[in-house]
Structure 1
Amino acid sequence: MKIRNIEDAEVFLRVIDAGSFSAAARELQRTPAAVSKQIARLEAALGTRLFERNTRRVRPSDDGRRIAGHVRDALAQLARAEELADDSRQRLEGRVRISAPAAFGHRHVSAALADFRDSHPGVRFELYLSDQVADLAGSDIDLAIRIGELPDSQLSARLLAPNPRVLVASPDYLRRRGTPRRPDDLHDHDCLLFAYPGTRHGTWRLHHGKRREDIAVHGPLCSDSGEALRQWCLAGMGISLRDHWNVSGDLARGDLLPVLPRWQPQASAIHAVRMHRQPVPRRISALIDYLAERWRVELAPPA
């Protein structure tokens, strides 16, 4: 038999991504019974069980996992075909779900999406802001904005902009504790640490010409929120390693001062990442191109 209802296939993927019939039903604003009926119809069409069910959870069967990959590819191909049919009018349409770090999302991503949608009103955005890294393989996120290293080789990445960083402290902190003159001086200071799974948040790597110093730092405060670290730094509670975009205004006003300005922190970058699937919907490729061009200027490293 054949799949005759594309919506059933879309519901099938939503159940997998959401983890349960009830969660998928909430996202789709339907009843669990309606979702269950659509899955049953799809199973009948395919002649196999797509899920293993028990009283506590629902998970894809072996056939369900294999079929899900083909369904995703097929729906992506269909979406691309629909976009190609609309190319003559150059109209982008459809939903894009995006995740981004919280502070960067508030400061740069939300404004960029608003401006993009002014030119492409047919595109709908769902923006999720968190300093936790979204699991693209296990979610319905189309695109993630990530800052820093990209260890996951399953993802397709596009460099959007360099991400210069800087050591900063408030004038009040430096008056009270003194100004570091060399990297080793950081051992005697309260350093505000970024605590994140898998990161070396207790070591700051600094460069000066060909010289490199890996400084083990410590302090009474750490957080997985870059904005929390910025606020603590402004309050005079220590020295922080911050992205330049995060503190550029504070530096311009003199609310924060650069520390060890001749020593450059380890380089970083801002990327757009997505699952490595083809074809890429035109609304997503156009958005990535737009962000790269916009942030090439907006986030240009300081002279």
Structure 2
Amino acid sequence: MPYIESLRVFCRVVELGSITSGGRDLRLSPAVASNRIKELENRLSVRLLNRTTRTLTPTEIGRAFYDHARRVITTLDEAESMVASLSGTPQGVLRLSATLGVGRRLIAPLIPQFCAEHPGVELRLRLSDRNINLIEDGIDLGFVLGQPADSALKWRKIADAPRVLVATPGYVETHGAPASPDDLANHNCLLLRYPRSPEYFWVIETAQGARKFMVKGQFDADDGDVLRDWALAGHGIANRPRYEVAEDLAEGRLVEILPETPPVTAQFGVLMPHRRLQDPKLRLFVDYAVQALKSKL
């Protein structure tokens, strides 16, 4: 099916914005992916992509062709999913996304066992603390902390994920412990920040209900594990999921700050495009993950 495979390459290149990324996602070298695109353009006798040294974008014809090619690929995938469902043998590629901390601690450990039980399935995990558009990026399942307000996606809650403010005993000894959430303004708060990130405030549970408190810090990062490392090094107060720092708290490396007024509990769950809900391997992995993760949060 070389033509179909060329369509797959073209779609992933458009979705990911580069031949290298599109090829890597399909486990092809950049040279092979580039040749697939050239073969497709030669077959159609048109240019599908505009290439410069820094950018790659579809031409007007390429954009129109992508819309049709994506529908062809989606229809083929759905047909294969139907066959897999009827045969009882799930197969094919399942693309997952998660934030760095969630992916490393919770999702990555699940994958080897699932693949051992379902050898016809290939799982590809993409980790980033930046916002990912599941539909545009071709992701089948996205594991997230916090329920996004996106009606184009199906949300399934897995469990509540309590959050906690933490710092080292040494930080508290040197800088004092905040007596109320208002005192956080006088501390170095370690923030998860990236373009369009909302975390210039923390939402705290108070006697009056959930409130936003403006916080600031001398430095921030777009990787939650970096924030934990900074907190462990005594550089400030971090707002992290409790499961992430539970061992540090139990062994005294970190202490809980403002335990009577913790951050608002987040929901942990999975997002799925509606069109993928009938895929048996997707349903199998979601059920598998829900069962495995409820006890860890």
Shorter-chain TM-score: what band?
0.7 to 0.9
Q: Residue 9 of structure 2 contacts residue 33 of structure 2 at CA under 8 Å; is this kept in 1? A: no
1:144 aligns with 2:146: no
Larger Rg: 1
Bigger mean CA deviation after superposition, 62-71 or 246-255: 62-71
Distance 2:131 2:112 in 1: 23
Shift of 1:167: 0.9
Q: Is the 8 A contact 1:169 1:233 kept in 2?
A: yes
For 1:79, the equivalent position in structure 2 comes to 77
Contact 2:82 2:279 in 1 (8 A): no
- Output the amino acid matched with 2:183: D
Greater mean deviation of Cα atoms: 199-208 or 11-20? 11-20
Q: Give the alignment partner of residue 120 of structure 1, picking from 115, 118, 121.
A: 118
Q: 1:55 to 1:212 in 2, by over 3 A?
A: closer
Residues 80 and 282 in structure 1, CA contact (< 8 A), matched pair in contact too: no
Query: Is the Cα contact below 8 Å between 1:76 and 1:281 reproduced in 2?
Result: no
Aligned with residue 226 of structure 1, among 214, 224, 230: 224
Q: Which of 29, 32, 35 matches 2:34?
A: 32
- Structure-2-length-normalised TM-score: 0.84
The answer for the alignment partner of 2:48 in structure 1 is 51
Deviation readout 1:9-40 (Å, 9 max, x if unpaired): 32332342344567656753316344312333
Query: 1:20–1:209: structure 2 CA closer, same or farther, 3 Å change rule?
Result: closer
**Which residue of structure 2 aligns with residue 194 of structure 1?**
192
Matched with 1:290 is 288
Alignment partners' CA distance in 2, 1:25 and 1:177: 51
Structure 1 vs Structure 2 CA RMSD = 2.9
Question: Quick check: 82-91 or 168-177, which moved more?
Answer: 82-91
1-side partners of 2:295 and 2:168: how far apart? 28
Report the CA distance between 1:93 and its aligned residue: 0.9
Counterpart of 1:257 (choices 255, 270, 280) is 255
TM-score scaled by length of structure 1: 0.83
Deviations 1:90-114 (A, max 9, x none): 2211112222211221111111112
CA contact (8 A) 1:76 1:278 kept: no
The 1-side partners of 2:263 and 2:140 are apart by: 31
- Runs of 5+ in structure 1 lacking a partner? none
Q: What residue in structure 2 maps to residue 60 of structure 1?
A: 58
- The 1-side partners of 2:175 and 2:192 are apart by 21
Alignment deviations for residues 58-111 of structure 1 (CA, whole Å, 9 cap, x no partner) = 543445434433432332332232233233552211112222211221111111
CA contact (8 A) 1:11 1:39 kept: no
Q: 2:270 — aligned with what?
A: 272
Which residue does 2:15 correspond to in 1? 17
On the 8 A contact 1:168/1:258 being kept in 2, the answer is yes
More displaced stretch, 87-96 vs 3-12: 3-12
Distance between the aligned counterparts of 1:55 and 1:186, measured in 2?
48
Matched residues, number: 292
Structure 2 CA distance for partners of 1:178 and 1:75, relative to 1, 3 Å: same
Q: For 1:6, what is the secondary structure of its paired residue? A: helix
* AA aligned opposite 2:292: R
Runs of 4+ residues over 6 Å off in structure 1: none
Identify the range of structure 1 (64-73 vs 165-174) with the bigger mean alpha-carbon deviation.
64-73
Deviation per residue, 1:214-237 (Å, 9 max, x gap) = 322222232111111111111111
Change (3 A) 1:7 1:216: closer
Render the CA deviation track for 1:147-204: whole Å, top value 9, x for unaligned: 2352544433332332211111111111222222222222332222222333332322
Secondary structure in structure 2 of the residue aligned to 1:277: helix
SS state of the match for residue 137, structure 2?
coil
Of 6, 24, 27, the residue aligned with 2:4 is 6
Counterpart residue identity of residue 203, structure 1: F
Letter of the 1:72 counterpart: R
